[in-house]
Chains A and B, each alone.
Chain A
C-alpha cells in the first residue's frame, strides 16, 4: 500500500481497531448481564477515527474525550483492564470508580479525560495547547468531540482562541450524523462541519471517518502543522455509530437503509479487506490477531469483575488535594 507507513504500523492500527470493537462488544454483553451500573455510550463503528488520529500521537501528546470515550482511551494507550474496571465501578479503575464510563482519564498516557458535558472538552483541549505553547514543548493535543458539540458556544470560543494564538490543537469532529436522536440536517444548514474552519482562519478538512488511512493522513498533516507552531486544524470525520446513542436507545429514528449502508462501510471490515487485497496481512494472521485480542479482553473482563468495589466512605476522599 502506498501510505508511507510501515507494515508494523498498519497492522498495529488494525489491531487497535479490533481491540476497541471487541472491548465494546464485551461491555455491551456485561451491560446485558446487569454488571454495568448506569449507562454506556458505545464507540462501535467509529474506531477508524480514534485510531486514525491517535496513531499519529506520541505518548506525551494529549487527547480530550467525550461521553463516548472508551475507544479514545484505548487508542491513546490506556490499559483495557483498567478502563473496564472503571466502567464497572471498581476500585482498580482509572478513577477508582468515581468517574465511570463517561469520565475516564489516564494522565500517564496523556489522556486528559472525558467530559460528559457536550462540548466542554473543547476549551480544555485548547488550554492544554496554551500550556504547551507557554512551556515551549512540541507536544500536540487532539480534541475529540461530536457533531452535536459543534453547536455549543464552546466550539466557537475555543477554536477561535486556539486559532488566534496558533495553538497546537487538532480539533476532531466525529460526525456520526446524530446528536442523540437529532439528525444533523435538522439543526445545521451546512453539510460539512469542517466548513466552519473558514470562520476562524484555519484549515478545515472533511474526511471519510470510516477509512482509517484517510483519517491518519489528514491528522498527520495537522499534527505536523501543530508541531511547527502553525496552529490548529479542524478535521471532520464522517462516521456512524453502530448502536444507538446510549444503552436504552434502539435508534429507531434512523432509516433501515441508512443503517445497512453504513454497516456495509464498517471501518474494520473495509480495512481488513484492503489489507488482504494488498497482501499486507494474510487471513491466518488476522485470525491470530483476533485470538490474541479476545484473550486480552477476556483478561480485562476477569480483572474488572474480580476487582473489589471501592469502600463506601471513599466517596468523601479526593474532593481536594
Chain B
C-alpha cells in the first residue's frame, strides 16, 4: 500500500470532502495560498478551490469559530483551523458555550456541523504558549466530539467522518505527527467515531495511549517485548465518544493498565480513562492502574526542561515494569 504523511492524509480528506460537497469550506489564519497553513496542512487547496472556500482570516480566533458556528447553523459545513491548540483559549466561548450547546439549548431545532482542527503537543521548543495538550478541556464539554488520530490512516478516516457528521467536532492533531508516514489506501474510506484501534496485540499489560504518545507506547512495547513483557497498545482514536468497551475488554484480557497521555496529569485524559476502568473493570485488575502524563506545570522552553516533562519510552517502560 502507498505511504503518505499524516499532514498529506489530512489534506486529502479536506480535498476529497470539498470536491464532494460544495458546502464544505475552510477558514483560518494563513491557511490560504500565501502560506498554506502554519503546518502546511492546507497547502495547495486555495489554488484548487479558490480564496472564498479556503479563507484567510484576520487574527481573530473568537470570530473564526463564531463565523463557523453561524455558517454551520445556516447550511454550510465549515472546517476552521486554529493555528495552535493553545489559542483555542481565545475562542473558548464560541467553542464551549455556543458551538457545543446550540443543538441542545434550542431543543434540537438545528444541527451544528462544524470541525475545529488544531495541533497540540510539546517537543519543538516553543514553550508554554504553543505546546500544550488540552484535549481534556474539550472532553469536559458535552455536545462536542473530540477526535485524536495518531496515524495518517486514522487522521484521514476520522476527518472525513468529522466533516460529514452533524455535530461540532474538536479535531486534535499533534505537531510531531505531521511528518509521520503511514499506509493510507487510495480508495474511499471513513472511520466511525467511538471505535478504538488496538495498535499492537499483547497479553501482559494494556497501554492506552493517545496522539503522539501512541508512537512512544509502541516504541516502549517493542523494547519490553525483548525483555519478555507482552504489551497491548490501545488507541481510543476519539476521546468523545470514548470506546470504553475496547479499553475494558483489553484490561480484562491483560489484568493491568497503564494510561499514557501528553496532557497534564490532574483531571486529564489519563484520569478519565483510569476512572472508567476503576469503575467498570476493577475486578479484573491484578495491579494498580498507572498513569504516565505530563506533570502539572506549564511546558518549559529549554530542551532539557521540556524533555523532562514530556512522557517518553523510558517513563512508559518504568510504569509498566512497576506493575508486571
Contact = CB atoms under 8 A, between A and B. Distances in A.
A94 B71 contact: no
A112 interface: yes
Nearest to B240: A320
A153 B110 CA distance: 26
Contact of B70 (A128, A135, A317): A128
Given A117-B97, A126-B70, A160-B58, 13 more contacts: A122-B66, A126-B67, A127-B69, A127-B78, A128-B71, A130-B76, A131-B74, A135-B75, A154-B93, A318-B103, A319-B142, A320-B103, A321-B111
Given A126-B70, A128-B70, A128-B71, A115 B58 contact: no
6 contacts: A95-B105, A123-B67, A130-B67, A154-B93, A157-B60, A318-B104
Contacts of A128: 70-71, 73-74
Nearest to A110: B74
A157 B103 contact: no
Interface string B60-104: 101101111111111110100000000000000110011000111
B71 to A, nearest CB: 4
Interface residues of A, number: 45
Nearest to A94: B107
B304 interface: no
A94 B98 CA distance: 18
B67 A161 contact: yes
Contacts of A135: 23, 75-76
Interface string A122-143: 1111111111111100000100
Interface in A145-182: 153-154, 157-158, 160-161, 164
A112 B74 contact: yes
Contacts, number: 144
Nearest to A97: B107
B25 interface: yes
Interface residues of B, number: 41
B167 interface: yes
A99 interface: yes
Interface in B40-66: 52-53, 57-58, 60, 62-63, 65-66
Which of the listed residues A103, A106, A133, A141 has the most CB atoms from chain B within 10 Å of its own CB?
A: A103
Interface string B142-176: 11010000000000000000000011000000000
Contact of A320 (B23, B52, B105, B145): B145
B82 to A, nearest CB: 14
A161 B109 contact: no
A20 to B, nearest CB: 21
Contacts of B62: 123, 153-154, 157
Interface in B219-278: none
A93 interface: yes
Contacts of B70: 64, 112, 123-131, 141
Contacts of B76: 130-131, 134-135
